[in-house]
């Protein structure tokens, strides 16, 4: 319909271009800002505690402001185990989020002027009253469950509280079904425990780290990258399985350039070698394992020769690497990875990785995986949440091992809302740029058009804001309080986020927005405080500290109470699986009609003239959220298309030539991308960094820079265990002529 056209041209105009030209070192410091700080040495600086929101590792840091209240730099907190005092370039560049002059500045309401849809500026009062009336209206007409929350990051938790108080548990985030979900299912079924974040991998003490398509270093999570570099210094063997020579692969002793989509075959064959050669950890398997005999029978035929035909990895290499893993065991890590939604059998691939860890005895052993622990932050008192009639679990298809809301099922249920017993009629989107993070963009847009109301809370005029009825500007993490960070780690710790500066423009924190809406819809008793500071103070007191203390120290580490980090020799231990054992054979899977042990199934290969679209992370960026950041766009402002020299020769491509991409369904990239010719990618695939190719003109630095991988992902394969979206089964051909030329006026 034309009801909700994407509003590209801002009623407010486009801000001036950034002039900052900062350059950041790889691990943390910003030389230009440092120089500025030195020059102003006489000035007095104040530091405020925070934890980073540029990615979701949540490193604790210090925000420095000068006498004029200007943010000068952000550094890592020395006492924080997430960062050990050093931030990554993105964390240091977080100041760019605050300074970005393209930021959302005031609430916006969709309106039609002279037949054209546009936004008009509104006061908070007006915008919040409008939103409150929609909350009430949806509840009366359909029930609160029909209002869905799609969220990511810190704002999400504030709105989750609002939605639960309102009576809706129709909540989902792309960090589950488009990211980590399958590994939580695969490891959960095997060890009875989620991997979670931070991953409990004891990288610093490992003797052998195996990365399956996990590109630590480019996929920049702070402490694991530091630990990996220590492990390399200490002589650990690194084995990387990746069709691309990633940075991690370039630091590896063994790079296995696997044919994309065949990892399960390699994993099964590694199991075969460990078992047939008697190299598995017999003591561990006997003491803690269940179903080893079935596994042994299952992998008997999966020889390295069998796997070679599928993966293109030489049998000798498969044998040699299996022996290296066994020699280092139990200090061997088959890393669970992070973004693991690839081919639709991802939970089973994660199961295979978990089983390998089980065979090597690494779960619960030094240099393998530690038993993580976190601190439970007490809930600030509020009345009980009402019980929704239905929620994320009831909508769409049923996935027996799903543990969180599935965004793509919310999309489906929204599109079908008139023919559906669980109609979804309104969304709040907070901190997630759905059109750039969910595949099959036309479905997301179709769902948006089926909505009666869409409110978006963001800091930036990202693509998703263009579809909103109301846009609310949140202030950045440097300008607000948020919930206490309590993450799993070797030792429990807490960190606080204190506003370092006042909110710029007319922006407000999510906790405030949530409370304002709550009060307008009769939920005041759920927001029994004037300022979120009171909530944190109350919680910190319960934890034996205070806001005053935490403002000074930022991070507080606690002693473990759940027992040692690792198993003692021969110790009895109950895993959290139904059997209390490490389940090589999964009865839970068998009972639901799934393969109880992983099986290799072939995935489609690129047709003639097409290449598999492979994508990953840039160390300077997080998804689409940082591309417009003035500091980080200075470091990397567009992505390139990695192409093998053989392909470049066949197609006659030159270095940095601009090309367009067309996928198997005829979708053509909106913008061109420059070619990077490199041996680091296999000839059957091309590669690009995710997050680029923005098409909202309000993002003055990011607009039109590079290509969006999401735009070209129109085929997905759904994981039948937990509903994850396999994104890597898309193929592109390379166009050297501008396909949009004739369409341009």
Does residue 586 contact residue 190 with C-beta atoms inside 8 Å? yes
| Contact status: 636 vs ligand MGD (CB under 6 A) | no
| Contact status: 497 vs ligand SF4 (CB under 6 A) | no
What is the rounded distance in angstroms from the CA atom of residue 118 to the CA atom of residue 449? 16
Site string for ligand MGD, 48-67 (x = CB under 6 A): -----x--------------
| Contact status: 339 vs ligand MGD (CB under 6 A) | yes
List the single partner that 352 binds among ligand SF4, ligand MGD, none, CB under 5 to 8 Å by kind.
none
Taking the complex as a whole, the smallest distance from the CB of residue 2 to ligand MGD amounts, in Å, to 24
Structure tokens at 313: 């990895």
Does residue 338 contact residue 180 with C-beta atoms inside 8 Å? yes
Q: Say which residues have a Cβ less than 8 Å from residue 397's Cβ, sequence separation at least 6.
A: 409, 412, 718, 723
Query: In the sheet where 237-241 sits, what is the strand order?
Result: 254-256, 237-241, 208-212, 332-334
Taking the complex as a whole, the smallest distance from the CB of residue 320 to ligand MGD amounts, in Å, to 32
With contacts defined by CB under 6 A, name the span among 56-64, 258-266, 358-366, 689-697 that binds ligand SF4. 56-64
What is the rounded distance in angstroms from the CA atom of residue 362 to the CA atom of residue 202? 10
Question: Which is closer to ligand MGD, CB of 288 or CB of 611?
Answer: 611
With contacts defined by CB under 6 A, name the span among 11-19, 37-45, 85-93, 303-311 that binds ligand SF4. 85-93
The residues pairing with 61 across neighbouring beta strands, listed in sequence order, are: 50, 76
Name the pairing type of β-strands 289-290 and 108-113: unpaired
Single residue of 369, 467, 477, 692 touching ligand MGD by CB under 6 A: 477
List the single partner that 474 binds among ligand MGD, ligand SF4, none, CB under 5 to 8 Å by kind.
ligand MGD
What is the rounded distance in angstroms from the CA atom of residue 533 to the CA atom of residue 624? 30
| Contact status: 611 vs ligand MGD (CB under 6 A) | no
List the single partner that 635 binds among ligand SF4, ligand MGD, none, CB under 5 to 8 Å by kind.
none
| Contact status: 432 vs ligand MGD (CB under 6 A) | yes
Question: Which is closer to ligand SF4, CB of 634 or CB of 684?
Answer: 634
Site string for ligand MGD, 13-42 (x = CB under 6 A): ------------------------------
* Cα–Cα distances in angstroms (integers) from residue 66 to residues 145, 149, 278, 322, in the given order: 47, 38, 64, 55
Single residue of 90, 134, 180, 480 touching ligand SF4 by CB under 6 A: 90
With contacts defined by CB under 6 A, name the span among 82-90, 118-126, 547-555, 591-599 that binds ligand SF4. 82-90
Q: Say which residues have a Cβ less than 8 Å from residue 342's Cβ, sequence separation at least 6.
A: 213, 261, 349, 726, 727, 728
Strand residue runs (E) in 222-291: 237-241, 254-256, 289-290
Taking the complex as a whole, the smallest distance from the CB of residue 89 to ligand SF4 amounts, in Å, to 7
What is the rounded distance in angstroms from the CA atom of residue 214 to the CA atom of residue 201? 13
With contacts defined by CB under 6 A, name the span among 40-48, 216-224, 256-264, 571-579 that binds ligand SF4. 216-224
Taking the complex as a whole, the smallest distance from the CB of residue 691 to ligand MGD amounts, in Å, to 6
| Contact status: 672 vs ligand SF4 (CB under 6 A) | no
List the single partner that 612 binds among ligand MGD, ligand SF4, none, CB under 5 to 8 Å by kind.
none
With contacts defined by CB under 6 A, name the span among 84-92, 119-127, 332-340, 726-734 that binds ligand SF4. 84-92
| DSSP annotation string for 60-117 | EEEEEE-TTS-EEEEEE-TT-TTTTT---HHHHTTHHHHH-TTS--S-EEEEEETTEE
* Helix then strand then coil, % of the chain, to nearest 5: 35, 20, 50
| Contact status: 710 vs ligand MGD (CB under 6 A) | yes
Say what angle helices 263-276 and 346-360 make with each other, to 10 degrees: 20
| Contact status: 648 vs ligand SF4 (CB under 6 A) | no
Single residue of 18, 24, 108, 175 touching ligand MGD by CB under 6 A: 175
| Contact status: 59 vs ligand SF4 (CB under 6 A) | yes
Single residue of 75, 222, 246, 444 touching ligand SF4 by CB under 6 A: 222
Taking the complex as a whole, the smallest distance from the CB of residue 83 to ligand SF4 amounts, in Å, to 6
CA angle 460, 462, 465 (to 5 degrees): 100
| Contact status: 457 vs ligand MGD (CB under 6 A) | yes
Taking the complex as a whole, the smallest distance from the CB of residue 86 to ligand SF4 amounts, in Å, to 8
What is the rounded distance in angstroms from the CA atom of residue 262 to the CA atom of residue 309? 10
* Cα–Cα distances in angstroms (integers) from residue 129 to residues 142, 478, 516, 637, in the given order: 20, 27, 9, 39
Q: Say which residues have a Cβ less than 8 Å from residue 622's Cβ, sequence separation at least 6.
A: 54, 55, 90, 691
Single residue of 474, 583, 634, 719 touching ligand MGD by CB under 6 A: 474
Does residue 534 contact residue 506 with C-beta atoms inside 8 Å? no
Question: Which is closer to ligand SF4, CB of 154 or CB of 408?
Answer: 154
Residue carrying the six token digits 């005895």 = 361
Region for residue 552 given its phi and psi (left: phi exceeds 0; alpha: psi -120 to 50; beta: otherwise) = alpha
List the single partner that 221 binds among ligand MGD, ligand SF4, none, CB under 5 to 8 Å by kind.
ligand SF4
What's 180's DSSP letter? Answer: I
Question: Which is closer to ligand MGD, CB of 186 or CB of 367?
Answer: 186
| Contact status: 624 vs ligand MGD (CB under 6 A) | yes
Taking the complex as a whole, the smallest distance from the CB of residue 432 to ligand MGD amounts, in Å, to 4
Number of Cα atoms under 13 Å in the Cβ half of residue 536? 24
Number of Cα atoms under 13 Å in the Cβ half of residue 429? 30
List the single partner that 54 binds among ligand MGD, ligand SF4, none, CB under 5 to 8 Å by kind.
ligand SF4
Torsion of CA 345, 348, 354, 356, to 10 degrees: -100
3-state SS, residue 297? helix
| Contact status: 635 vs ligand SF4 (CB under 6 A) | no
Single residue of 63, 87, 415, 565 touching ligand SF4 by CB under 6 A: 87
| Contact status: 57 vs ligand SF4 (CB under 6 A) | yes
With contacts defined by CB under 6 A, name the span among 458-466, 537-545, 640-648, 663-671 that binds ligand MGD. 458-466
Does residue 392 contact residue 405 with C-beta atoms inside 8 Å? yes
The residues pairing with 219 across neighbouring beta strands, listed in sequence order, are: 216
With contacts defined by CB under 6 A, name the span among 87-95, 569-577, 677-685, 735-743 that binds ligand SF4. 87-95
| Contact status: 636 vs ligand SF4 (CB under 6 A) | no
Number of residues located near ligand SF4, criterion CB under 6 A: 14
| Contact status: 228 vs ligand SF4 (CB under 6 A) | no
What's 484's DSSP letter? Answer: P
| Contact status: 63 vs ligand SF4 (CB under 6 A) | no
Taking the complex as a whole, the smallest distance from the CB of residue 504 to ligand MGD amounts, in Å, to 13
| Contact status: 178 vs ligand MGD (CB under 6 A) | yes
Name the pairing type of β-strands 725-726 and 254-256: unpaired
Does residue 260 contact residue 243 with C-beta atoms inside 8 Å? yes
| Contact status: 155 vs ligand MGD (CB under 6 A) | yes
Single residue of 83, 318, 404, 438 touching ligand SF4 by CB under 6 A: 83
Single residue of 54, 210, 411, 713 touching ligand SF4 by CB under 6 A: 54
Q: Name the site residues for ligand MGD (rule: CB under 6 A).
A: 53, 152-153, 155, 174-175, 178-179, 339, 430-433, 436-437, 457-460, 462, 474, 476-477, 615, 622-625, 690, 709-710, 713, 727
Q: Name the site residues for ligand SF4 (rule: CB under 6 A).
A: 52, 54-55, 57-59, 83, 87-88, 90-91, 220-222
């Amino acid at each position: 319909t034309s009801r909700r056209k994407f509003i590209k041209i801002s009623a407010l105009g486009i801000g001036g271009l950034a002039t900052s030209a900062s350059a950041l070192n790889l691990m943390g410091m910003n030389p230009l800002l440092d120089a500025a700080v030195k020059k102003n040495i006489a000035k007095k600086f104040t530091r405020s505690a925070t934890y980073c929101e540029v990615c979701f590792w949540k490193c604790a840091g210090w925000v420095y402001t000068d006498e004029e209240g200007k943010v000068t730099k952000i550094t890592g907190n020395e006492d924080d185990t997430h960062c050990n005092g050093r931030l990554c370039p993105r964390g240091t560049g977080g100041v760019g989020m605050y300074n970005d002059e393209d930021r959302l500045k005031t609430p916006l309401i969709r309106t039609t002027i002279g037949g054209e849809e546009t936004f008009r500026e509104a006061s908070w009062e007006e915008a919040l009253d409008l939103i409150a009336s929609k909350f009430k209206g949806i509840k009366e007409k359909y029930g609160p469950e029909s209002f869905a929350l799609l969220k990511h990051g810190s704002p999400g938790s504030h709105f989750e509280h609002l939605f639960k108080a309102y009576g809706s548990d129709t909540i989902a985030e792309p960090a589950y079904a488009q990211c980590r979900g399958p590994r939580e299912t695969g490891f959960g079924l095997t060890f009875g425990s989620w991997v979670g974040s931070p991953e409990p991998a004891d990288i610093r003490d490992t003797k052998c780290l195996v990365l399956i398509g996990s590109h630590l270093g480019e996929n920049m999570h702070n402490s694991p990258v530091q630990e990996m570099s220590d492990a390399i210094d200490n002589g650990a063997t690194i084995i990387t399985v990746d069709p691309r020579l990633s940075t991690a692969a370039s630091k590896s002793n063994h790079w296995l350039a696997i044919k994309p989509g065949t990892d399960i075959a390699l994993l099964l064959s590694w199991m075969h070698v460990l078992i047939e050669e008697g190299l598995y950890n017999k003591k561990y398997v006997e003491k803690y394992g269940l179903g080893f005999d079935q596994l042994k029978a299952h992998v008997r035929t999966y020889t390295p020769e069998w796997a070679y035909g599928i993966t293109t990895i030489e049998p000798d290499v498969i044998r040699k690497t299996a022996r290296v893993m066994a020699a280092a065991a139990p200090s061997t890590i088959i890393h669970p990875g992070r973004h693991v939604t690839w081919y639709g059998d991802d939970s089973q691939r994660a199961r295979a990785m978990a089983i390998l860890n089980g065979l090597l005895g690494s779960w619960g052993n030094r240099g393998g995986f530690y038993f993580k622990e976190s601190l439970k932050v007490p809930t600030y008192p509020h009345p009980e949440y009402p019980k929704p009639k239905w929620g994320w679990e009831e909508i769409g298809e049923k996935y027996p091992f799903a543990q969180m809301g599935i965004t793509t099922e919310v999309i489906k249920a929204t599109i079908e809302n008139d023919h559906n017993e669980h109609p979804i009629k309104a969304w709040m989107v907070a901190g997630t740029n759905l059109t750039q993070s969910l595949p099959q963009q036309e479905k997301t847009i179709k769902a948006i058009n089926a909505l009666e109301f869409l409110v978006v809370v963001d800091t930036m005029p990202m693509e998703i804001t263009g579809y909103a009825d109301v846009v609310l500007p949140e202030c950045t993490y440097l300008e607000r309080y948020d919930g206490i960070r309590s993450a799993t780690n070797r030792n429990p710790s807490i960190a606080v986020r204190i506003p370092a500066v006042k909110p710029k423009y007319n922006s407000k924190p999510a906790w405030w927005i949530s409370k304002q809406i709550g009060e307008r819809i009769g939920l005041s008793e759920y927001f029994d405080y004037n300022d979120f500071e009171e909530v944190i103070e109350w919680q910190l007191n319960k934890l034996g500290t205070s806001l005053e203390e935490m403002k000074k120290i930022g991070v507080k580490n606690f002693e473990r109470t759940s027992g040692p980090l690792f198993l003692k020799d021969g110790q009895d231990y109950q895993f959290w699986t139904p059997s209390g054992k490490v389940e090589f054979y999964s009865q839970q899977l068998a009972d639901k009609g799934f393969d109880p042990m992983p099986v290799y199934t072939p995935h489609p290969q690129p047709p003639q003239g097409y290449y598999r679209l492979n994508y990953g992370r840039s160390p300077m960026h997080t998804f689409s959220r940082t591309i417009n950041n003035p500091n980080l766009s200075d470091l990397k402002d567009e992505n390139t298309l990695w192409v093998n020299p053989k392909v470049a020769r066949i197609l006659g491509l030159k270095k940095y030539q601009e090309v367009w991409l067309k996928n198997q369904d005829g979708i053509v990239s909106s913008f061109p991308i420059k070619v990077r010719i490199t041996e680091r990618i296999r000839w059957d695939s091309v590669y690009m960094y995710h997050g680029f190719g923005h098409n909202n003109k309000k993002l003055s630095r990011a607009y039109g820079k590079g290509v969006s991988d999401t735009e070209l992902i129109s085929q997905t394969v759904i994981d039948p265990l937990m509903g994850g979206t396999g994104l890597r089964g898309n193929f592109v051909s390379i166009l050297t002529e501008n396909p949009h030329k004739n369409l341009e006026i």
